[in-house]
Structure 1
Amino acid sequence: MSLHEDRPAPAWAGDVSLGVDAWTRRSTASEPEAGDETRRGTSRRSSGGRRTGRRPSSRATPPPEDEATQVPHADPESVARKILLDQLTGQPRTRGELQAKLAKKLVPDDVATRLLDRFEEVGLIDDEAFARLWIGSRQPGKGLARRALAQELRRKGIDDEVAREALDEIDPADEEHAARLLVRKKLRTLSRVDDQTATRRLVGMLARKGYGSGMAFSVVRDELRSADREGPEAPGA
């Protein structure tokens, strides 16, 4: 008698497909959980030894953006208004200067034009007043003549017509007086040079200040004579 004669036959005996199913279920129950496989980077194998799972991707999924830390884009008009107010704090500016500043900050042209027009309407930008103030400080303070002042106003972005109206307010007598003061101050440093050299330097200085040759030679001649030095001959004399 066989040792196995008293052992009951399994339920799947005689049916190969049932046997395979029973073996597969036992094998599956003994394997680790799917989450453990993912963490360990392993893969399951089928009954035939083939890999049936995928190796987890090494590319991590980025976390969602935190909406609380997101900053909305600034309004271009608000940015431009702040730039203008900062520029006008403490000193006046011309429209041309402010427009160049906005362009440098990449403010859209339509926004810049709208704000500059508004600032002019309320008096925060006034090129006419700026021109008069500029002349009032540079003409007596630096002794600049009309031509030099016109060049400075043009560099400031002042319209030529606006500048001309402001320059016409300069009294010719004040302009000549400013030239004489410049010559007297410079002449004190030219005591050791001859009259011809002194004349050349003085006329050149006045030319750089914007004075015409006629006024320059006239003022230099008078001031040299007042200092008991020989004055120059005016051009064409």
Structure 2
Amino acid sequence: MTVNTARDPVAVALRLLAVRSHAVGELKVKLKKKGFDETDISRTVDYLAGIGSLDDERFAREVLASRTRNKNWGPRKVAADLAVRGVAQDIIRRVVGSVDGEAQAALAKEAIARWLRKTGCRMPLGQKEFAKAVRHLTARGFGLDVVLNGLRRYDDIDAG
């Protein structure tokens, strides 16, 4: 006798989790799209959380590390991404809040360096390039104060 894993919500969820981590809300949406009812979805999520396979805080930390390292996102953009994926606001605040000012400055410095390489701009920036850099970095999720300080520091380092 074979088990039809396509109709087993735990098996489907584990296959999804084998590819990458998911937030609870994200996994619920995917299971719903596959036709599982709310009761099965709730049981599956509770079971997976109970065995440690599903953890929104761990997921949020993984996303934060990945997006800041690979995409040069700032904390605000990571927070927005986590919210879209269904992570609770208290978890988002706790995880994103763990990025201190020094770490944000380092992330902004790397994002500035990447932007300069990509655009071919050189420091010091002219007024138009400066405005473009500010728009780009704030869109990447960095606060205006972090962006302005980062550009100022980067210019000081480049000039020195």
Query: TM-score per shorter chain, which class?
Result: 0.7 to 0.9
Q: Which has the higher helix share?
A: 2
The 3 A distance-change label for structure 1 pair 218 and 112 is same
User: What residue number does 1:59 align with?
Assistant: none
Any conservation in 1 of the 2:138–2:147 contact (CA below 8 Å)? yes
Gaps of 5+ in 1: 1-73, 229-237
CA distance in 1, matches of 2:143, 2:45: 37
Amino acid at match of 2:42: T
User: What percentage of aligned pairs have identical amino acids?
Assistant: 23
3-state SS of paired residue (2:36): coil
Please show how residues 74-223 of structure 1 align to structure 2 within 5 Å: 78-188=7-117, 189-191=120-122, 195-223=126-154
CA distance in 1, matches of 2:41, 2:101: 39
Compute the displacement of 1:85 (Å).
Answer: 1.6
Any conservation in 2 of the 1:94–1:158 contact (CA below 8 Å)? yes
Gaps of 5+ in 2: none
Q: Which has the higher contact order (CA 8 A, sep 6+)?
A: 2
The 3 A distance-change label for structure 1 pair 185 and 101 is closer
Compute the displacement of 1:157 (Å).
Answer: 1.3
CA distance in 1, matches of 2:125, 2:39: 61
Q: Aligned-pair RMSD on alpha carbons?
A: 2.4
Aligned pairs, number: 155
3-state SS of paired residue (2:87): coil
Compute the displacement of 1:117 (Å).
Answer: 0.8
Compute the displacement of 1:218 (Å).
Answer: 2.1
Compute the displacement of 1:104 (Å).
Answer: 0.6
CA distance in 2, matches of 1:95, 1:77: 20
> Higher Cα Rg: structure 1 or 2?
1
The 3 A distance-change label for structure 1 pair 176 and 222 is same
